[in-house]
Amino acid sequence: MASRLTHDKDLEAAIDAVADSYDREDPINNLDSAALPNKRAVIDAYNYIKPTLFMGFYSRRSLNRVNLRYAISECLYPAREILVEQIDRAVRYEQRAGWRPEGRPEGWSEEVVLCLFRRLPRLRRSLSGDVIAAFQGDPAAGSVEEVVFSYPSIQAITAYRVAHELAEVGVPLIPRILTEHAHSRTGIDIHPDARIGERFFIDHGTGVVIGQTTVIGDDVKIYQGVTLGALSVSRDALGSGLSVKRHPTIEDNVTLYAGATIHGGETVIGHGSVIGGNVWIVKSVPPDSKIFGRPRD
């Protein structure tokens, strides 16, 4: 049986081999980690922000109007400190990588974070509508409290709504870290650049994909396994037009049942439509359509 010394030598040889692999020019090397945002720190900042949106569900002590402000400040002061630093890192890297050579104005990261915090009351109103839509749309929901505590869709939509505010003002890297964190925990993949209206409900949720340029109206309900995707196109073919509309538009009061797949930037699902399970759509359908089975050409 090999000795511990032999194993140590083998381990040292493996370490040398891994270190030597960084001598090759490779886009995943990136040894200057201080120039990049720290993923764990970004998630820590979000975990301070999230309780302020649902304070009564996250506090470990009784809350009232007397101590509520103090409880919120306990979350937002550390959130600001962490998030400003991480956005600063992201924008420095953005400039260094040539994504935005002109950089950002001094104090931009601080102002972005404060702007996000000023919008938290509006986010709370939107999330309240999302929670109520889930409760009213799912007979299995025992209470609004059960929805907030238990439904993966609320976790994913909460992360999306916070991330979208940052994406809207051009914060690099951070928004996608937030939504992919939620994706890893819920199985629901919402790109932070997507535009989603009020009272949005994802029932069950596992396997839902909502692409970058998707537009979703108000009072939309979708089930597990729904894909709102782009028709396949290479990055080279798009050139600099990555913001071109590549994903569908879902108008108000639409229901998309489990496994429905809708592709293409010119595809519009008209308001009030119902799209059945496992339907594949790459062309627009008019308002109040009911599509089941294989749609007609």
Looking up residue 270, the CATH number of its domain turns out to be 2.160.10.10
The residue out of 142, 166, 188 marking a domain boundary is 188
Which domain covers residue 219, as residue numbers? 194-297
Average pLDDT, the chain: 91
Instruction: Evaluate whether residue 11 is within a structural domain.
Output: no
148 and 198 co-located in one domain: no
Read off the DSSP letter of residue 53.
H
b/e per residue, 205-215, with b = 16+ CB within 10 A?
Answer: beebbbbbbbb
136 and 179 co-located in one domain: yes
The residue out of 135, 169, 188 marking a domain boundary is 188
202 and 176 co-located in one domain: no
63 and 167 co-located in one domain: yes
Instruction: Evaluate whether residue 77 is within a structural domain.
Output: yes
60 and 148 co-located in one domain: yes
User: Do 285 and 264 form a contact (C-beta atoms < 8 A)?
Assistant: no
Give the number of residues written for the chain.
297
177 and 200 co-located in one domain: no
- Directed axis angle between helix 108-118 and helix 68-96, to 10°? 140
161 and 292 co-located in one domain: no
pLDDT of residue 240: 55
Bridge partners, residue 291, by sequence: 275
Instruction: Evaluate whether residue 1 is within a structural domain.
Output: no
| pLDDT at position 296 over 60 | no
pLDDT of residue 33: 58
41 and 161 co-located in one domain: yes
Least confident interval from 63-77, 173-187, 265-279: 63-77
To the question of pTM greater than 0.75 for the whole model, the response is yes
Instruction: Evaluate whether residue 294 is within a structural domain.
Output: yes
Q: Residue 167: CB partners within 8 Å, gap ≥ 6?
A: 175, 192, 193
217 and 263 co-located in one domain: yes
Radius of gyration of the chain (CA): 22
| pLDDT at position 92 over 80 | yes
Q: Residue 71: CB partners within 8 Å, gap ≥ 6?
A: 55, 59, 61, 63
Burial of 260 (0-12, 13-18, 19+ CB in 10 A): buried
Single-letter residue type at 247:
H
The residue out of 153, 168, 188 marking a domain boundary is 188
Taking 3-state DSSP, the helix, strand and coil percentages for the chain, each rounded to the nearest 5, stand at: 45, 10, 40
| pLDDT at position 41 over 70 | yes
179 and 256 co-located in one domain: no
- Directed axis angle between helix 39-53 and helix 152-168, to 10°? 110
163 and 229 co-located in one domain: no
140 and 234 co-located in one domain: no
